[in-house]
Structure 1
Amino acid sequence: MGLEQAVVDFFNHMGLLNLTVGNVVMIIVGLTLVYLAIRYEMEPLLLLPIGISAVLVNLPLSHMANWPLAPQLPPEIQENIFATISYLSQQYGPPGLFDLIYYLLIKTEVVPLLIFFGLGAMTDFGPMIADPKTALLGAAAQIGVFVAMLVALALGFNLKEAASIGIIGGADGPTTIYLTTKLAPHILSATAVAAYSYMSLVPLIQPPVIKALTTPEERRIRMEQLRPVSKREKILFPIASMIVIGLLVPSAAPLIGMLMIGNLFRESGVVQRLSKAAQEELMNIVTIFLGLGIGSTMRAESFLTPKTLMILALGVVAFASATAGGVLFGKIMMKISGGKINPMIGAAGVSAVPMSARVVQRLASEEDPGNFILMHAMGPNVAGVIGTAVVAGVFLSALG
């Protein structure tokens, strides 16, 4: 009888016998992301860990993730991560590895903030400093955030969910994760996957929009060479930006602050080792945790919903409308400048650095092989990073 019970228990604890249709679908989705990352090199640094961790978390009884993503917590412990972990341990048992990554590194915003620190160390704000008016194009591209947000509201999402979906239009994965974790953690997996997937599709999404809104003559406009930017300007810019934005939009201070600290490390020239570590070792480590953490949220029970499909569709709306907003404002600036500004650079206001700037350069080269506007496009491109973080801060102030 003991042997028979042991055999029964063995089969009852086989993952194969506990596999659901939802698990199968999500395993296929995860393997698809892995395939796209390896075969087509679509954002491989993120889609590969996201995809493979999505496969692992959907293997029944793997115990990699034992806790729910958006549990109902007593009000008195909601802001205390250690009390939350203790409560969840009592309610759902010991945490799996993915639970610890999500609750300690993603939900506490540690990883998104460290990503911004690394991005700051990798970013050259010189093109924007050399031509400050291009920062307006980065701001104009944020219209995609509000267009997607309004469409999401019309489709029945609540205000916090709509804001989290809208921020996808900023084409900034860490900002999307940061805001969604604060406002609507139950849709984190969908918004994060949409943000990073569509970032890799920028070369496919943007050109049709740009070509529809510009003429060949406009795309051939050549721009004057940017002025040299002094080291003093590059050092003062992150300090001034951090203080001004922090005073005006305190909720954006964590994102902007980490971005600018990283940039100051880069531009100061006196902490090369720290700057290099932020760009390479630290960035690599937090990228691994970010990918694994996001992939672990792609569980069948929370991901396979009609809302997920709508969020993925709204991601395209967000990217396309952000591109359109930047280009249309670029056309206004072209008129005001007497034809000295190529309106395509407005499309780079979508802060997919540097992919959107490269798309603009490729389209310019197709019309005129000698037209080099990459550095002009980098101005709105890096401004878009700041703009998206500020918009996220405004949403947090209003809705958080």
Structure 2
Amino acid sequence: MDFSFTAVLGKILGESGYAGFFMDGGWKNLLMILIAFVLLYLGIAKKFEPLLLVTIAFGMLLANLPFSNMISNVDNDGLLHWLYTGVKLDIYPPLIFMGVGAMTDFGPLIARPSSLILGAAAQFGIFTAFLGSLLIFKFPVNVAAAIGIIGGADGPTAIMVTSKLAPEYLSAIAIAAYSYMALIPMIQPPIMRLFTRKKDRQIRMTQLREVSNTEKIVFPIAVATVVILLLPDTAPLIGMLMLGNLFHVCGVTARLDETVQNALMNIVTIFLGLSVGATAAADTFLTWQTLEIILMGLVAFALSTFGGVIFGDIMCWISKGKINPLIGSAGVSAVPMAARVAQIEGQKENPSNFLLMHAMGPNVAGVIGSAAAAGFFLKLVPMLMG
């Protein structure tokens, strides 16, 4: 055996990841690494959903470095493979929902229950994109359902539905979902201005009534009971969302509330992002279907915003000008970013406008609505495929 410097160096370089770029399909890995770099730039420099986009992008980077063995190797399964079991077993998304529940104030929704209508209307894009994916792009019904969920602007829900119905498309759908969530300040305002009148956007809404602590405690218990009895498949998401909120409002679980909001939420976010990013292997991600998914995801998100705004217009008319239709756009479940966009657009038209708390009602209703839509698809799709 030749142990010369040249031979040893040649063997090291021949078995290195650099050599992998010159093998069949190596260019695909290189392209995926460049995509990961772009996502890292958007997450770090542009602050687009950085907590998840940075971890997803880094997981994509690790998965596409040749011979890194982060997913699997000859002898055993790699680190990211085991982290991904938390997605496959539906562990991470419900835990994220628990954290969201602990950080969410349902008071505006309780004070104005009609916000539920706006939250429901903003799910319009989910079902429209489902039909479009099914009829236009001819996706199988399970994949079409997973694509449609992007319209709910709810990353954990999209991940959970996709991991159950179409796991081979998880990376494309998850990246589309979180990318459009990050682009809410760019996507929503043109739609909001196009489908509302200037004088309606200037409407100042009266202060919401004060919600008692008893109401706040009863609400998560009642919603969990009613919704899960109606749609049992929503139990992981709705159950954890309401449990997290109960920790926050009941007044006797401060330590649990703090843990769920901070330590647990941060740990699960890291595991979820890395494992989802690791599914973005070059062979499965670099396809025309990925582009179709990204396109339909945009359509779903835009139509969800449209549905919420149109029903905002209707409620404005019914209330004789007491409800600003801009809050309808917050019916998508990107909490609290969508509510902030409604606030910003309202203040552009009327600097004395303060719509944030009014928009939070439809916003948190959208979280419940997207979870209900997910439960509906998880029940419907197996029936259609069976």
Normalised TM-score (structure 1): 0.91
What whole-Å deviation, never above 9, does each CA across 1:309-347 have from its counterpart, x for those lacking one? 111111111111000000101111111111211111110
Find runs of 4+ consecutive structure 1 residues off by over 3 angstroms. Answer: 1-12
SS in 1 for 2:164: helix
Partner of 1:165: 147
Structure 1 residues 367 and 7, CA, compared in 2 at 3 Å: closer, same or farther? closer
Partner of 1:76: none
What whole-Å deviation, never above 9, does each CA across 1:43-66 have from its counterpart, x for those lacking one? 111111111221111110000012
1:49 partner letter = T
| 1:385 and 2:367 are equivalent in the alignment | yes
Partner of 2:232: 250
SS in 2 for 1:132: coil
Deviates more, 1:229-238 or 1:52-61: 52-61
From 119, 122, 129, the equivalent of 1:148 is: 129
Separation in structure 1 between the aligned mates of residue 326 and residue 205 of structure 2, nearest angstrom? 11
Separation in structure 2 between the aligned mates of residue 18 and residue 392 of structure 1, nearest angstrom? 40
2:227 partner letter = I
| 1:206 and 2:188 are equivalent in the alignment | yes
Separation in structure 2 between the aligned mates of residue 368 and residue 284 of structure 1, nearest angstrom? 37
Partner of 1:275: 257
From 287, 292, 295, the equivalent of 1:313 is: 295
Partner of 1:323: 305
Give the deviation of 1:9 after TM superposition: 4.7
Partner of 2:118: 137
Give the deviation of 1:15 after TM superposition: 1.2
Separation in structure 2 between the aligned mates of residue 93 and residue 233 of structure 1, nearest angstrom? 56
Partner of 1:24: 30
Q: How does 1:167-182 map to 2 (within 5 A)?
A: 167-182=149-164
Give the deviation of 1:299 after TM superposition: 1.0
What whole-Å deviation, never above 9, does each CA across 1:59-88 have from its counterpart, x for those lacking one? 100000128xxxxxxxxxxxxxxxxxxxxx
| 1:371 and 2:377 are equivalent in the alignment | no
Separation in structure 1 between the aligned mates of residue 19 and residue 120 of structure 2, nearest angstrom? 53
| 1:118 and 2:103 are equivalent in the alignment | no
Deviates more, 1:239-248 or 1:146-155: 146-155
Partner of 1:33: 39
- Structure 1 unaligned spans of 5+: 68-91
Give the deviation of 1:150 after TM superposition: 1.4
Separation in structure 2 between the aligned mates of residue 254 and residue 16 of structure 1, nearest angstrom? 43
Separation in structure 1 between the aligned mates of residue 318 and residue 50 of structure 2, nearest angstrom? 41
Separation in structure 1 between the aligned mates of residue 99 and residue 118 of structure 2, nearest angstrom? 24
Separation in structure 1 between the aligned mates of residue 295 and residue 369 of structure 2, nearest angstrom? 23
2:237 partner letter = L
| 1:394 and 2:380 are equivalent in the alignment | no
From 337, 343, 350, the equivalent of 2:325 is: 343
Partner of 1:226: 208
Give the deviation of 1:255 after TM superposition: 0.6
SS in 2 for 1:369: coil
From 68, 72, 80, the equivalent of 1:66 is: 72
SS in 1 for 2:32: helix
What whole-Å deviation, never above 9, does each CA across 1:199-248 have from its counterpart, x for those lacking one? 01000000000011011101011111100000000000000001101110
From 48, 52, 57, the equivalent of 1:46 is: 52
Give the deviation of 1:122 after TM superposition: 0.6
What whole-Å deviation, never above 9, does each CA across 1:6-33 have from its counterpart, x for those lacking one? 6665443221111111011100000111
2:301 partner letter = F
From 49, 58, 62, the equivalent of 1:56 is: 62
What whole-Å deviation, never above 9, does each CA across 1:141-164 have from its counterpart, x for those lacking one? 000101111111121111110100
1:47 partner letter = L
Partner of 2:16: 14
How many residues were matched structurally? 375
Separation in structure 1 between the aligned mates of residue 278 and residue 251 of structure 2, nearest angstrom? 39
Separation in structure 2 between the aligned mates of residue 251 and residue 165 of structure 1, nearest angstrom? 18
Let me know the Cα RMSD of the aligned residues: 1.3
SS in 1 for 2:29: helix
1:326 partner letter = G
1:351 partner letter = S
1:371 partner letter = N
Separation in structure 1 between the aligned mates of residue 224 and residue 70 of structure 2, nearest angstrom? 39
Normalised TM-score (structure 2): 0.95
Partner of 2:171: 189
From 243, 263, 277, the equivalent of 2:245 is: 263
SS in 1 for 2:114: helix
Give the deviation of 1:2 after TM superposition: 5.0
1:359 partner letter = V
